[in-house]
Amino acid sequence: MFKEENAKIRKAILQAVEGWPDEVLNKKPSMDEWSPIQILDHLHLMEGMVAKNVGRQLESEKSEKAVKKPIQLTVSRMVKVDAPKHVVPSEEYISLAEMKKRLEDSRALLHRVYDGTTIEELENKSMPHPVFGKVPLIQWFPFVGLHEKRHLKQLEKTLDKLKSEKTG
């Protein structure tokens, strides 16, 4: 079940940033890299967008069935994908406490969308993905977790850079 897997990945993400001061979490290791908070903001924006768009597709008569896609490839960071504009994190300073609240809210929205429909509806409708094309709605829920797993690796590398910057 996707909820348990997504919860496990989210827990690992939150554990990775636990105990770090907000000042460090808001620091970019370089101009062209995201800060740890920006990575979390991206995850929150993506999850909220997925939930809203799946909800829209469920209401749409035009949404069509699609074949399952190899969404597990999402975890690989070998393929670089630029974040769509609407899920690019902001440059604003955000506390970890505020970011945790945003992440809780987007997760609650995702669960409400899932719990408010049927598996059959989710299997018979789809939504476009920038890499995979039309993806059945049922796959968007585990996709959120796979997407977070991908960014967990990025988050860990970013924190390592910030740690060595501090000690080096």
Give residue 148's pLDDT.
Answer: 97
Give residue 22's pLDDT.
Answer: 97
Give residue 75's pLDDT.
Answer: 85
The identity of residue 6, as a single letter, is N
Q: 3-state DSSP call for residue 134?
A: strand
Length of the chain in terms of residues written: 168
Residues of the chain with pLDDT under 70: 166-168
Give residue 168's pLDDT.
Answer: 56
What is the radius of gyration, based on Cα positions, of the chain? 17
| Cβ neighbours of residue 27 closer than 8 Å, sequence gap 6 or more | 35, 36, 162
Buried residues in 3-23 as b, exposed as e (16+ CB within 10 A): eebbeebbeebeebbeebebe
CA atoms within 13 A on the CB side of 61: 0
Summarised one tens digit per residue, pLDDT across range 124-148 is: 999 999 889 999 999 999 999 999 9
Report which of 30, 1, 5, 10 is spatially closest to residue 107, judged by C-alpha positions: 10
Give residue 37's pLDDT.
Answer: 98
Angle at 23 between CA 14 and CA 29, to 5 degrees: 80
Diameter of the chain by CA atoms?
58
Give residue 166's pLDDT.
Answer: 65
Give residue 167's pLDDT.
Answer: 62
Helix, strand, coil share (%) of the chain residues, nearest 5: 65, 5, 30
